[in-house]
Amino acid sequence: MKKTTVFILSIVLLFSCNKDPKEECTTNVNSLSATYRITAYTYKPTPTSPEQDYFTILFPDACDRDNNLTLSSNGTYVITDAGMVCAPPRTEDGVWALSGNNMTLDGDPIVIESFDCQSLVISFADFMTTGDKMKITLVKQ
């Protein structure tokens, strides 16, 4: 009887330890602070329009489509020429801030569409004209 109880207890403990705990992902300065690769730009001219791929339109040079964006917890950011480096290499920097599900990048308002601690999707309203929307997808490196 004792062997059966120990066996059952061992099985219960084994399976309870194998649970895959989900990482809790909250949107805050620390969780957003990381280096990201920009993987997509999509554009909607109107709220009812289908999304259009704008990555190659905004960045016709391949060397501009593999850059990294680093958001630092001190409120600064750097876009680094990575992967295929442009000639001459370009780096941009500035400031960012977070308030709830909204960010500012150099003072420009940005909405955080989604964030799962790996992928960050942000959008700009009225990007080229009133009522349009540019969405950017970034993946943590």
Pick the range with the lowest mean pLDDT from 2-6, 34-38, 126-130. 2-6
15: left (phi over 0), alpha (psi -120 to 50) or beta: alpha
Task: State the total domains in the chain.
Answer: 1
pTM for this one?
0.79
CATH number, domain with residue 67: 2.40.128.20
Q: Is the residue at 111 inside a domain?
A: yes
What element of type H or E holds 117? none
Q: What's the rounded Cα separation, in Å, for the pair 23 and 31?
A: 11
- Structural domain boundaries, residue 100: 27-140
pLDDT band at 138 (very low <50, low <70, confident <90, very high): very high
Q: Is the residue at 3 inside a domain?
A: no
Q: Is the pLDDT of residue 10 over 60?
A: no
Q: Is the residue at 126 inside a domain?
A: yes
Q: Among 40, 38, 37, which residue's Cα sits nearest to residue 55?
A: 40
The pLDDT tens digits for 52-62 are: 999 999 989 99
